[in-house]
Structure 1
């Protein structure tokens, strides 16, 4: 029996749903490991994040996104899981393209949890 594991995702910022045009990226783990020598590794905390390509629709929350420093961003995946990023803010340049109205959003935050 087949199982749905990918497809349409939903993104909400402080409860307001965005229209997205592409994939959503979230970290699977909270740490990053690196081998020092075989059998020994170091472990560092990862900054929680969410990356998404949104569409600049009428009413797009530009001010909320641009000025927000303590947002809650929720990504709902087609397999039924969700990733909730708390204390979120945008990082890197945020630009909109005129030919397809795409806005690449890179959120980082204080805490990211899978549910």
Structure 2
């Protein structure tokens, strides 16, 4: 029996659903490990994030996205899992391309939880 592991994703920013294209990227772990010498490693915290390309649809609240500093960003995946970013804010350049109507968005935040 096959199992669904990928497909359509849904992104919500403070409850408002975005129309997205392509994939959604979120961290699978909350730490990053690096070997110092064989058998010994260091560990650093990973900043929680959600990275996505969205369509600039009529009525999209760009002000909320660009100025919000305590957003909840929810990524719902086709396999039934969700990643919830709390205390979120937009980082990096928020760019819009007029030829295809896309916004490149990256949100980082205080915590990211898999559900």
Tell me which residue corresponds to 2:111: 111
Matches within 5 A, 1:1-115: 1-115=1-115
1:5-55 per-position Cα deviation (integer Å, ceiling 9, x unaligned): 000000000001000011000000000000000010000111000000000
Distance 1:32 1:15 in 2: 30
Which blocks of at least 5 consecutive residues in structure 1 are unaligned? Answer: none
TM-score (norm 1): 0.99
1:67-105 per-position Cα deviation (integer Å, ceiling 9, x unaligned): 100000000000000000000000001011011101010
Offset of residue 64 of structure 1:
0.4
Figure out how many residues of one structure are paired with residues of the other and give that number.
115
SS at match of 1:58: coil
